[in-house]
Amino acid sequence: MSILSGKNILLGITGGIAAYKTASLVRLFVKAGAHIKVVMTPSSKEFVTPLTLSTLSKNPVYSSFVNEDEDNAVWNNHVDLGLWADLFIIAPATANTLAKMANGVCDNLLLATYLSAKCPVYFAPAMDLDMYLHESTLHSFQVLKSYGNIMIPATSGELASGLVGEGRMAEPEDILTFIENDILDKLPLKGKKVLITAGPTYEAIDPVRFIGNHSSGKMGFEIAKASANLGAEVILITGPTHEKITHSLINVISVVSAEAMFNEVHNYFKNVDIAILSAAVADFKPKEIASQKIKKNTETFTLELVKTKDILASLGAIKTKQYLVGFALETTNELKNAKEKLKRKNLNLIVLNSLNDEGAGFKGDTNKVTFIDDEDTVTEYQLKSKAAVASDLLNKIIENIHA
């Protein structure tokens, strides 16, 4: 999954020959999972049709302040468009439009939207060689960058005039990659490796039966997604679950038993910066596993259990630079038990949830948590979606590791 997945992207198209490439650019953004709206200058419609871009983006295309039909006039609100966008990409950006942007000229819908935008703005220049190297154009580049806009450099190649040189708009694939890399480079977990465990473990009794629990893995998967979206390289070690995730920064490793999870966690732990153990690992397993299905031929059945290896405690005993986070699911003396677990297992942070809180715990889409760190700071949150809890957790970790 691309870092652009779920983003609202506003694509501004100006009147240069490179506008024909924007159909491919829209398709790439859609394939990356982004939501696309297109704003065109009137002259750009001579190079690519609004119908093409509307079909590919699955949204209306905007090019004037008012859409008129036989009976009604509809105002296209440039302020709403600017506020809707998470990213605004102007490609191609002609010398004319760049000069207007640099000087606050506002004579079409695209420029009005640019002046209203609150999001990062990228611009991909496209023009002939002499225009690209002209002092006024170079001045526009500098002014726009001083405003915080991000320039996607033009490349060298054959230009519409027949000249060969700088001024060719970056190819759509390169524009997408540039934006993805720029976003990733600015994310707070860029360059960090995060290990996450999720889901239950199943401890075999015989070939068809096991000891397990009701964990769905949803919380761990949301933490993995949130970590990757903040730029981290994620190793997600999960027990049996119906949850699915696809992201270019997430490596999913599936296990079944506590022993298998223990081994995989220790394979990776020494090389990670952050470890978040949200899996509901079985505390006990059968001492002996029957090789054949156990027959129901007695009134009672006794199963001898032995403790599984304590993964969290084993990591606390060997951690060096790692920031270690554990989870505590409690039913009585919740805060006291969680604080004791944090100290006993040498954690940096523990996430407490109680089965006494409605909407918290296994299977559901919500959770109610309390964070306790190794400075004995207690932060309690109201009931939230597990996605929001994951975001709160990552923000707390980032705050602590940069403190």
Burial class (CB in 10 A: 0-12, 13-18, 19+), 206: middle
pLDDT value of position 284: 95
Quote the CA–CA distance of 91 and 126 in Å, as a whole number.
8
pLDDT value of position 292: 93
pLDDT value of position 360: 61
Domain parsing of the chain, residue ranges: 8-185, 193-401
CATH classification for the domain delimited by 193-401, as one of 3.40.50.300, 3.40.50.10300, 3.40.640.10, 3.30.70.100: 3.40.50.10300
pLDDT exceeds cutoff 70 at 239: yes
pLDDT value of position 268: 98
**pLDDT classification of 130: cutoffs 50, 70, 90:** confident
Which residues fall within 8 angstroms of residue 176, CB to CB, at 6 or more apart? 4, 25, 28, 29, 32
Phi, psi of 274 (to 5 degrees): -135, 135
pLDDT value of position 162: 74
pLDDT value of position 299: 85
Query: With contact defined as beta carbons under 8 Å apart, do 19 and 44 qualify?
Result: yes
Structure tokens at 244: 């699915």
Q: Where are the alpha helices (DSSP H) in 147-217?
A: 172-185
The answer to whether the 8-185 and 193-401 domains have the same CATH topology is yes
Q: Where are the alpha helices (DSSP H) in 38-185?
A: 50-57, 78-84, 95-103, 109-116, 129-133, 135-146, 172-185
**pLDDT classification of 297: cutoffs 50, 70, 90:** confident
pLDDT value of position 366: 86
Residue-wise pLDDT tens digits, 311-361: 999 999 999 999 999 999 887 888 999 999 999 999 999 999 877 666 666
Quote the CA–CA distance of 242 and 251 in Å, as a whole number.
17
DSSP class of residue 348 equals S
Residue-wise pLDDT tens digits, 156-172: 877 777 777 788 899 99
Helix (H) / strand (E) element for 389: namely: helix 386-401
DSSP 38-79: EEE-GGGGGTS-HHHHHHHHTS-EE-SSEEE-SS-EEE--HH
Query: With contact defined as beta carbons under 8 Å apart, do 194 and 227 qualify?
Result: yes
Which residues fall within 8 angstroms of residue 122, CB to CB, at 6 or more apart? 87, 88, 89, 90, 91, 149, 150, 151, 152, 175, 178, 179, 182
Residue 364: how many other CB atoms lie within 10 Å: 15
pLDDT value of position 388: 94
- What does the mean pLDDT of the chain come to? 92
Helix (H) / strand (E) element for 238: namely: strand 233-238
Residue-wise pLDDT tens digits, 314-323: 999 999 999 9
Fold assignment, 8-185: Rossmann fold (3.40.50)
pLDDT value of position 159: 72
pLDDT value of position 68: 60
Lowest-confidence region among 48-52, 161-165, 219-223, 310-314: 161-165
Helix (H) / strand (E) element for 380: namely: strand 378-380
pLDDT value of position 359: 60
pLDDT value of position 43: 95
Range 374-401 average pLDDT: 94
Which residues fall within 8 angstroms of residue 230, CB to CB, at 6 or more apart? 187, 188, 189, 190, 394, 398
pLDDT exceeds cutoff 70 at 272: yes
Residue appearing with tokens 């027990």:
239
The length of the chain, given as a count of residues: 403
Residue-wise pLDDT tens digits, 69-121: 656 667 788 889 999 999 999 999 999 999 999 999 999 999 999 999 999 99
pLDDT value of position 363: 61
Active centre residues (catalytic): 213
**Between 356 and 182, where is the model more confident?**
182
pLDDT value of position 69: 61
Q: Where are the alpha helices (DSSP H) in 270-376?
A: 311-318, 334-344
Show the CA angle centred on residue 124, arms to residues 122 and 130, nearest 5°. 140
